[in-house]
Amino acid sequence: MSDLDATTPRVFLVRHGETEWTKNGRYTGITDIELTPVGINQVTATGTLLVGPGKLIDSAMIARVWVSPRKRAQHTCQLIFSGAEDIADKITLTEDIAEWDYGDYEGLVVGEIRARRKEKGLDGEREWSIWRDGCEGGEYFSPMLCRGRFLDGCSQRLANW
């Protein structure tokens, strides 16, 4: 990595590894699901490949790490940085980047959600879309979008540290 690249501010997004619910397509938001052994291997391999001196993510160059408070996200963070020193004081748990609140659809697959909505007389002319219709008892796209704006303010947040 060139010296210029090493000093350029960057933001990396890391999604948690596999869980039982991601394996079978269940919507997983606020439910605290652990990583599967495969998920642990996925994250460990990613950390080995990407994190360390001279690699894409050099922990010595990290200013902040924001992590969802969900166990799967925290475990992912722990595994990604398992060989890194002095990272713990840079980690902040925040709901600002937490997963979507799927409300009544938490733990369901798309077919189950569409069947429930059909029984209620919803979506008569078109099938349910999370982006357009949101989640009963949970979030719609706009609150999720506001949390996504968290990234817009990363440079300001870093300037305040």
Structure token digits, residue 156: 């300001």
Of 75, 99, 106, 139, which residue is the catalytic one? 99
To 10 degrees, the CA torsion angle through 72, 14, 79, 1?
180
The three state secondary structure string of 33-83 is CCECHHHHHHHHHHHHHHECCCCCECHHHCCCEEECCCHHHHHHHHHHCCC
Active site residue 75: no
pLDDT tens string, the chain, 161 residues long: the values are 555 555 677 788 888 999 999 999 999 989 999 999 999 999 999 999 999 998 999 888 888 899 999 999 999 999 999 978 789 899 999 888 888 889 999 999 999 999 999 999 998 889 999 888 889 998 877 665 666 666 666 656 655 55
pTM for the structure as a whole:
0.82
Active site residue 99: yes
Of 16, 75, 106, 139, which residue is the catalytic one? 16
